[in-house]
Amino acid sequence: MQLIDGKSLAQQTQAQVAKEVELLKQTRNIVPGLAVILIGDDPASHAYVKMKAKACEKVGFYAITHSMPETISQEEIIATIEMINDNPRIDGILVQLPLPSHIDTDKIIEVIDPKKDVDGFHPYNVGRLVTKLDCFVPCTPLGVMKMFEKYEIDLQGKDVCIVGASNIVGKPMASLLLNADATVTVTHIHTKDLAAHTRSADIVIVGVGKPNLITKEMVKEGAVVIDIGINRLDDGKLVGDVDFDSVQEQCSFITPVPGGAGPMTIAMLLENTLKAAKSREIL
């Protein structure tokens, strides 16, 4: 079994981004800019935003966070996004999810300028991903693809089982894998026999937020296991959706939690924002 070290790969990616940011400053006088919209007091959301802001600072981005109260109206959020859309210093807009229940998340995402949609959630970018056109790809699935590339895990013709069909991870992950000529099965909460699907897969990718969902008996020998889930247990320990201790004995490659897909998600956000900055129109 080989551990897929997402933390180390993310650090390499950040170092490369920092070099390119410096070059962009010198050649075009552009400092990549990222605006984050953070609504409410959810501790996890605040922690994620803090990590993203720290990463931006490390690579030399200009970053700003618009913190808003839980009671903010949808109209006020939309007005803020439209203001950021028009700001030439901002290349990327990130709305930290989940949003409060009174906010229409789909509507908010659609307001973002697709050219600044560094999360890759806008229908414009979703459509281009499905049709294998250049676009912004959601950061977590993109990070998984970079890990496959780094560890030379061949995807062509492989049977891949994705556990979880979210718009953020499962569906874009499926599109990327199909584009790479893998055979993809997407499972979800209504799937009849989950283990039957995971046991027959060469690669299992899981991201549903349920600790120890995937056990050794659900994984065939030599499979590649990518754990995107992140859960905090009552004792404060962070774990994924895979029973790591038992599954690691069964597989050829596995991602740890923490230190696997998580760091790569932030690294891909930096790459996407840099990509947006490079395409900035010269004023």
* Active-site residue set: 52, 96, 119
- 76, two tokens: 């006020």
Q: Judge contact between 122 and 114, C-beta under 8 A.
A: yes
List b or e across 232-246, with b for residues whose CB sees 16 or more CB atoms inside 10 angstroms: eeeeeeebbbbbbee
Tokens of 171: 């569906």
* CA 40 vs CA 36, 83, 95, 104: distances in Å: 13, 20, 12, 15
Using an 8 Å Cβ cutoff, are 63 and 87 in contact? no
Supply the angle between the helices 139-150 and 6-28 in degrees, to the nearest 10. 110
Token look-up 């129109």 returns 281
Q: If we measure between CA atoms, which residue out of 269, 265, 241, 235 comes closest to residue 254?
A: 241
Q: Which amino acid is at 168?
A: I
Question: Hey, what are 78's tokens?
Answer: 């939309």
Q: Is 27 exposed, middle or buried (0-12, 13-18, 19+ CB in 10 A)?
A: exposed
Tell me, rounded to whole angstroms, the distance of Cα 70 from its chain centroid: 24
Both structure tokens of 88: 């030439």
